[in-house]
Amino acid sequence: MKRNLFISLRLTLVMLVLLAVIYPLIIAAAGYFTSNKGNGKQVIVNGKVVGYELIGQRFTDDKYFQGRPSAVDYHADGSAGSNKGPSNPDYLKTVSERIDSFIVHNKTIERKDIPAELVTASGSGLDPHISPSSAFVQVPRIASVRNLSEEKLKQLIQAHTEHGLLSPEKINVLQLNIALDDLK
């Protein structure tokens, strides 16, 4: 029995060193040799970092397109979903509040026309993309606030729609909002 105990302890120590020290060092080294030294793909506008390409962020001003809600308040160090099922009363209350808030800011939209992704958080809580339908539903609000034609905004959305070979169409919200600010 002592022999098995010592074998178990040695195996535990070997795995601890391997998985808690060596593996993280290998991953950190691999990240260091990428183009941004493992810091993600930064989005720079006028010499200033305004966000990261693959991490969602909050846009609360009515003049911007809004992305998916985040269960982790867009903190990349704590990527997670809410882990609440669709019948959980707290989850239903949160989604209902998001729907009510969306309607307050988008007065021309009816409840049934709100895409689910605009009121439910993604699994990671950091999704930077929305579907074209989620962008189009926000066009009347943004056109009104910015005094732009809806047609011009629809063209902007179409120009920023990414067409994947095996994935649905999507739009990076940060890139779309940067292009929106560049409109004259």
Q: Where are the domains of the chain?
A: 1-39, 53-182
pLDDT above 80 (res 184): no
Each residue's pLDDT tens digit, 155-165: 999 999 999 88
Each residue's pLDDT tens digit, 71-81: 888 877 777 77
Closest by Cα among 78, 73, 79 to 94: 73
100-124: average pLDDT: 92
CB-based burial label for 76 (10 Å; 0-12, 13-18, 19+): middle
pLDDT value, residue 131: 96
pLDDT value, residue 140: 97
128-139: average pLDDT: 96
Lowest mean pLDDT among 66-70, 77-81, 105-109, 110-114: 77-81
Q: Chain-wide mean pLDDT for the chain?
A: 91
pTM of this structure: 0.80
Closest by Cα among 97, 64, 60 to 171: 64
CA distance 163 to 120: 23
Each residue's pLDDT tens digit, 32-44: 888 777 777 888 8
Half-sphere exposure of 59 (CA within 13 A, CB side): 26
Q: Which residue has the higher pLDDT, 182 or 82?
A: 182
